[in-house]
Amino acid sequence: MKPSSKQLKVIEFLEQQLKFWKNTNDISSPTHIGDIREFSQFLDDVLSKDEIIFVELITHEIYERIIELESRK
């Protein structure tokens, strides 16, 4: 089964965030946390407020896990 429009929108959002992080010159900048919240609001045409909060939470989790990789040396 193909992804639904909701799923595609979330995938595109995650791709966008990952590209920002990939191309940043400061991966630990607190700006990235603010960007997650700011850009998640563009999901409101497809997702409910609760779904947007859920996407923000999982995006923060992914971001934090990426940051933690450097501290595991």
pLDDT in tens, 40-58: 999 999 999 999 999 999 9
pTM of the predicted model, to two decimals? 0.90
The Cα angle at residue 71 between residues 20 and 64, in degrees rounded to 5? 40
Mean pLDDT of the chain: 94
Q: What per-residue confidence (pLDDT) applies to 73?
A: 60
Question: Is residue 13 a contact partner of residue 41, using CB atoms and an 8 Å limit?
Answer: no
Radius of gyration of the chain (CA): 13
Q: pLDDT value at position 70? A: 85
Stretch 19-27: mean pLDDT: 96
* Mean of pLDDT values over 2-23: 96
Helix (H, G, I), strand (E, B) or coil at 38: helix
